[in-house]
Amino acid sequence: MVFQKLGLAVTFSPNAVSLLKTAKRLQNLFGSELLLIHAGGKSIETEKLMQDLLRQTDIEKNSYELIWQEGDPSKVIINACKARNVDLLIAGALEKESILKYYIGSVARNIMRESPCSILILTHTSTGEKPFKKFCASVQYNSLGEYAIRKAYEFAKLEKADEFVLIKEFEIPGLAITISDTGSMQETERKRAYWQREEELKLDVFAKELNLSGVELKTVCLYGKQGWVSSNYVRECGGDLLVVPSPQKKLKLFDRIFQHDIEFVFKQLPCALLIIREDHN
């Protein structure tokens, strides 16, 4: 099973019905359990609003667990995911925003830092109500990077996706020095072409060693700033889902990585975003 237990942060926002429909679809796709988390108090009025939302999505009463909990939204969501062993948290987002829809300020960052599970962030133009047909996965040459790709590939097979693209971003060591020392554009292009070939060969070997089958596999090496070039590529090629491994949970390192890599993707989401965290349950 790709994900055994799904969590959905439920709000009374305009995209609530769409998110609930997505959660229901993925629950059926994975054959998983579903936990609905509302960071707010339970009253006659809010309970009625919740029931109205659930009726619009035809979610059966015995097919989910609903948690009502007042408190800091990020802590409520994180604690619920930990306590119920959620392995995929679903949340909504707006394009061209660096925060999750409904949550403000540091809440989104707290969820990103402390979430014990993988996170699926959906934009209003890529709600996930329909199958994701084109998966794009950012490549990292480490155990978490390989785990993320395999997890995403199993997801792609269940979705009957048309294409799965492995994207490796790279920068060229010493390129600025080369330009400064030689002033030669020809030498610069030669160095860039050399590193492009090296990265392509390395990625081809990596892809073959994964031994993936069932969905068409494509590899792409992109030169440029990490986060920016992959986001632009996914937007231009019409990707439905971008998959990235989660940064490590050491806060100082995370802050640096988040600011310079994933933060770039959040600033203008090219599509739905799946951040994979390794499951240690």
For the stretch 94-115, pLDDT in tens is 444 444 444 433 465 677 677 8
Query: Confidence class of residue 128 from pLDDT cuts 50, 70 and 90?
Result: low
Q: Are residues 89 and 165 in the same domain?
A: no
Mean pLDDT score, 206-232: 90
> Domain containing 113: what range?
1-130
245 forms beta bridges with 276
Residue 250, domain member (yes or no): yes
Q: How far apart are CA 101 and CA 94, in angstroms?
A: 6
Domain count, the chain: 2
Q: What is the mean pLDDT of the chain?
A: 82
Largest CA distance in the chain: 74
pLDDT for the residue numbered 239: 94
Predicted TM-score of the model (pTM): 0.86
- Same-domain pairing of 137 and 249: yes
| 38 lies in some domain | yes
Please state, in angstroms and rounded to a whole number, the distance separating the CA atoms of residues 190 and 98. 37
Say if residue 192's pLDDT is above 90: no
My answer on whether 19 and 101 are in the same domain is yes
Query: Do 159 and 237 have their domain in common?
Result: yes
Q: Which residue stretches of 135-227 are H helix?
A: 143-159, 175-182, 185-210
CATH number of the domain that residue 94 is part of: 3.40.50.620
199-208, 212-221, 240-249: which range is least confident on average?
240-249
Q: Is residue 281 part of a domain?
A: no
* pLDDT at site 108: 58
Residue 32 forms part of a structural domain: yes
Q: pLDDT, tens digit, for every residue of 149-185?
A: 999 999 999 999 999 999 999 887 655 544 445 556 7
* Residue 153 Cα distances to 4, 42, 213, 238, angstroms: 16, 39, 9, 18
Q: Which tens digits make up the pLDDT trace of 221-266?
A: 998 877 788 888 999 999 999 999 987 654 444 444 444 455 556 5
Residues 84 and 151 in one domain: no
Question: Within this chain, do residues 9 and 123 fall inside the same structural domain, yes or no?
Answer: yes
Do 119 and 168 lie in a common domain?
Answer: no
278 occurs within a structural domain: no
Residues 136 and 104 in one domain: no
pLDDT of residue 257: 43
- 279 inside domain: no
| 91 and 183 both lie in a single domain | no
Tens digits of residue pLDDT in 9-58: 888 887 888 889 999 999 999 999 999 999 888 999 999 999 999 999 88
* Co-location of 164 and 245 in the same domain: yes
Same domain (yes/no): 148, 93? no
Q: Nearest 5°: phi and psi at 39? A: -85, 80
Asked whether residue 274 is domain-assigned, the answer is no
Q: Which of 111, 130, 149 is the last residue of a domain?
A: 130
Among 96, 130, 164, give the residue marking a domain's end. Answer: 130
Element (H, E) at 27: helix 16-30
